[in-house]
Amino acid sequence: MAELAWWQRGAIYQIYPRSFADSNGDGIGDLRGIVAHLDHLSALAVEAIWLSPFFRSPMADFGYDVSDPCDVDPIFGTLEDFDHLVAECHAAGIRVVIDWVPNHTSDRHPWFEASRSSRDDPKRDWYVWRDGDGPPNDWTSQFRAVGPAWTFDETTGQWYLHSFMREQPDLNWDNPEVEAAMHDVIRFWMDRGVDGLRLDAIHKIAKDPLMRDHVGAPRRHDEDWETIHERLRGIRRVVDEYDDRMIVGEVALQDLHRIVLYLESGDQLHLAHNFVFVELPWEADAFGTSIEDFEALADRTAWPAWFLENHDLPRLASRFGPAAARAAAVMLYALRGTPFVYQGQELGLPDAHIPPDRVVDVDGRDPVRTPMPWEPGAGGGFSDGEPWLPVDDSTTVRAQAQDPRSSLTLFRRLAALRRELPALRNGSQRRIDAAPGVLAWVRDERVLAAVNFAGEPRPLELRGKVLVSSDPDRAGGDGLGPYEAVIAALDG
């Protein structure tokens, strides 16, 4: 078996810095808070962390509206704090992946302030400006509450494009100066020792230059245009100026073919977040087919990545129930490919309840962004101050760490097992027949993994020792309990 790259070996753990740990009592998580909790990440044996944005930002979209992509927002700390975090992570054997937001900037970025100042400004064409008595076409923001993807700017009497909030004007990637400037942002962070990038909304950086309407067209015109592949190759060339770095794209497309096209041939993305997988219903056949389809399409050209939670999507425990969330964890770690875990997923957190007067996000994502509950108590060990979103301390890292039956213990066991067993990391993968509602596969013909998607017991012939079960009350013997998933060694 070929040696795996670091980004293929184990889980990549997503940190939402605002909500991970607050070191100075202002109620908002920060970089020093992360360093203070590296022991948690080591105990989870994570291969890398991916940090959601900590750059300078007016925080309209909580950091995804970047006003200076080459500096740390004072709320999160300083560049020195970032260097310290990278050094501490590396000392602990943890790689650092950061978010790179290429599709748009904040409306307070100096580039946009220049661009909007006059039609003749040299930066005018760095963003997308059009004339019109109304919005120039029928494109809408990804955020339902925002409506049209265009805002009229009085100063110069034109409309600018924003695929997200109006505070997030889209950059014009058809302008080579923009591409070059964004490449320099990559170099800035790679020079500081960053190991990889998560490319935010990457399918959005290539749009129909004719800006045609969606209506009546067979496909969307505001994303995933053919130019994406040249642009990905350009990004990859920059990343390949450095050793052993990785790029993972947020490829939010509902078409496996298109996703795989972003990965192919070794000169585009290393990994893609698969948004077909994340939308599947909790059914064995849906997952089984989707996994097989990906494997068939990607064949030898691409390495899979599997994720089921992030800072934008409802949590598994609320979508499918707590038992299914645990079974899904077994699936993520036992599939061929890189598992992504979002902070709090290891605790099996559900979507939090947010009282109406505490709602802050434009797109309803507060319930999945509440602070990490570290310890019992008012601030949940997250903060000594008033947390920016409510903390629920009904379950905590401390309590789960001491509980052999907890979700956290399960995640630690899964991570350890993946380190122990080469078959789980890079063994071949073959689906095998199983009872209705059960998805089962073998890795390297040595290890069996099976997930019962049904809420009733199902038969399963276990030809060996169960190494881990999602069900702490597993009775033993053959078969799977309701929503139970297991990994077992195969005899012989």
Asked if 61 touches ligand GLC (CB under 6 A), the answer is: yes
Q: Which two tokens stand for residue 42?
A: 């080591």
Out of 12, 41, 101, 467, name the contact with ligand GLC by CB under 6 A: 101
Q: Is 299 a catalytic residue?
A: no
Q: Is 491 exposed, middle or buried (0-12, 13-18, 19+ CB in 10 A)?
A: exposed
The DSSP secondary-structure symbol of 358 reads G
Q: Long-range contact list for 394-400, CB < 8 A, 24+ apart?
A: 395/347, 395/348, 395/349, 396/347, 397/40, 397/347, 397/372, 397/373, 398/374, 400/347
Minimum CB–partner distance for residue 51 and ligand GLC (Å): 13
Instruction: Select the binding partner of residue 366 from Ca ion, ligand GLC, none (C-beta < 5 to 8 A, by kind).
Output: none
Can you tell me which of 22, 47, 195, 200 binds ligand GLC, judged by CB under 6 A? 200
Q: Which two tokens stand for residue 174?
A: 């058809």
Q: Of 206, 185, 224, 193, which Cα lies nearest the Cα of 56?
A: 185
Q: How big is the CA angle at 235 (ends 14 and 193), to the nearest 5 degrees?
A: 55
Q: Toward ligand GLC, which CB reaches closer, 201 or 410?
A: 201
Site string (302-331) toward ligand GLC, x via CB under 6 A: ---------xx-------------------
E strand segments, 167-229: 196-199
Residue 361: CB minimum distance to ligand GLC, A: 9
For residue 52, the minimal CB distance to ligand GLC (Å) is 7
Q: Nearest to residue 186, comparing CAs of 201, 171, 198?
A: 198
CB of 334 to ligand GLC, least distance (A): 26
Q: How many residues bind Ca ion (CB under 5 A)?
A: 5
Instruction: Please identify which residue in 5, 24, 187, 236 interacts with Ca ion, judged by CB under 5 A.
Output: 24
Work out whether 275 is an interface residue with ligand GLC (CB under 6 A). no
Of 27-35, 87-95, 197-205, 289-297: span binding Ca ion (CB under 5 A)? 27-35
Residue among 50, 160, 164, 303 that touches ligand GLC (CB under 6 A): 164
**Helix, strand, coil percentages for the chain (3-state, nearest 5):** 30, 15, 50
30 lies in the site for Ca ion, by CB under 5 A: yes
Select from ligand GLC, Ca ion, none the partner in contact with residue 22, using the beta carbon and a kind-dependent cut-off of 5 to 8 Å: Ca ion
Is residue 65 flagged as an active site residue?
A: no
Q: CA nearest 126: which of 112, 140, 113?
A: 112
CA atoms within 13 A of residue 422's CA, in its CB half-sphere: 5
Check binding of 64 to ligand GLC (CB under 6 A).
yes
199 binds ligand GLC (CB under 6 A): no
- Distance from C-alpha of 43 to C-alpha of 174, rounded to nearest angstrom: 45
The active-site residue, picked from 30, 107, 200, 361, is 200
Chain residues binding ligand GLC by CB under 6 A are: 61, 64, 101, 164, 200-201, 250, 311-312
